Amino acid sequence: MDLAYLRAHPEQLPAFLTHQRIRETPVSGGDICAASRLTLDDGHSVFAKTWPEHGGSSAPEGFFATEAAGLRWLREVAAVAVPEVLVVSPELLVLEWVEPGEPGPEAAARFGRELAELHRAGAPAFGARWPGFIGALPADNTPDDGPWTQWFARARLLPYLRRSVDGGALTVADATLVEQVIDRVDEFGGDEPASRVHGDLWSGNLLWGHDDRVWLVDPAAHGGHRETDLAQLALFGGPPHHDRIVAAYQESWPLADGWRARLPLHQLHLLLVHTALFGAAYRDSVTRSARDALRGAGRATVDG
C-alpha cells in the first residue's frame, strides 16, 4: 500500500493493519488515544490514532468522525497548517505525517498571523454542525446565534461544572464560586460574532514542524470566541515564543478592549474539562481562575 492507493482506497487500511502488511511504530498520541507512525510501501509515513484496547471499551460513537470533521473545517480556510485527513472510521483516524521540527520565533510569529486569519474566516453560529467532543467528553455543539456570553455559560461552563461536582473533583463551595462567574457572565462584555476556533488550543496541540510552520492537531473545532483559543494557549505554561504568537496576532487582528481581563473566564472552560476528566488535581486551578474572573468582571469592558 502506497500513499496514492491509501487515498483512493482508505477502507482497505484496517485489513492491511490486521494482517501486518504495514510497518507500525508507536509514537506519542496524547492522554487519550494510542498513536503510531505507519510506513507505507513508497516510503511515505502517515499518523494513525486508535482507541486504546483496555477493558473492552471502544471509542465513543462519532469520536473520530468529529475530529476529522473539525480538522477538515479548519483546513478548508488554508490559513494555519492542518494535517490532511486520509482515513476515518469508528475506531481509527489516519492523518498525513508531519515531520517534527524545533520551535522558532519566526514560525511563532507566522502562526500568530495565520491564527488570526483562521479566526477571521468565521462560523455560521456558535457550536457546529457535527456533535462535539473535548478530550473524551461530549461537547454541546448545538448551533446557537448567541450572544456569546450566554452560549458559553450554557454550553461550555455548566456541563463540565456539573460533571466535576458529580465526580467529586469540586466541592459545593467550589461550585458556588463558579456559579457566581456564570451568574455575572453578561458583565464581561467582549461579545463578537462566532469565529472559527480550534477549541482545545493548549500548547500540547501545537505541532512545530520541520517546515518551520506550526500545525494544529487534536481540535475540538467549532464556532466560538477567538479569545478562547488565545486564553487556552496561555494555560499550562504556554508554548515556546508565546509572546511572539500573541504580538503577531494583535498586529493582524487586534483583540477587543478588556481581553486580558477576560482570559480567566475563557480559561475556566478548559480547566473545568480537566476536573471533569482528571479529578481534583485541577481543583485549585479552577477556583483560582474563577476568582480571577470575578475580579476582572468589572474592568473587562474597559481595559485593553
More confident residue, 296 or 31: 296
Segment among 2-16, 95-109, 203-217, 223-237 with least mean pLDDT:
2-16
**Domain limits for position 286:** 105-297
pLDDT at site 299: 62
Residue 261: which CATH number?
3.90.1200.10
Considering the domain architecture, whether residues 251 and 288 belong to the same structural domain is answered as: yes
60 inside domain: yes
Whose cell is 492542518? That residue is 82
Element holding 38 (H helix, E strand): strand 34-39
CA distance 43 to 194: 41
The number of folded domains in the chain is 2
pLDDT above 90 (res 138)? yes
Return the higher-pLDDT residue of 27 and 116: 116
Domain boundary residue among 47, 73, 96? Answer: 96
In a domain, 304, yes or no: no
Is residue 187, in this structure, part of any structural domain at all?
A: yes
Q: Using the 8-state DSSP alphabet, how is residue 141 labeled?
A: -
β 137-139/132-134 pair status = antiparallel
Count CB neighbours of 201 within 10 A.
24
Give SS3 for 98: coil
Same domain, 153 and 16: no
Are 70 and 213 contained in the same domain? no
Residues 79-102: tens digit of each pLDDT = 999 999 999 999 899 999 999 999
Mean pLDDT of 246-271: 97
Q: Is the pLDDT of residue 250 over 50?
A: yes
Instruction: Name the residue with higher pLDDT: 8 or 150.
Output: 150
Which residues are paired to 134 by β-bridges?
Answer: 137
116 & 210 share domain: yes
Reference 227, options 182, 258, 185, 186; nearest CA is 258
- 61: domain CATH number? 3.30.200.20
Per-residue pLDDT, averaged over 156-178, amounts to 98
67 belongs to a structural domain? yes
Identify the CA nearest to 104 among candidates 13, 263, 214, 221: 214
Best CA proximity match to 75, nearest among 65, 85, 63: 85
- DSSP string for residues in 198-251: -S--SGGGEEEBTTS-EEE-S---EEE-HHHHHHHHTGGG--TTHHHHHHHHHH
Which of these three, 77, 96, 115, is where a domain ends?
Answer: 96
* Domain end residue (candidates: 41, 70, 96): 96
Q: Copy the grid coordinates of residue 134.
A: 473535548
pLDDT at 298: 63
Mean of the pLDDT values across residues 21-31?
79
Listed residue (193, 189, 201, 188) closest to 144, CA to CA: 193
In a domain, 303, yes or no: no
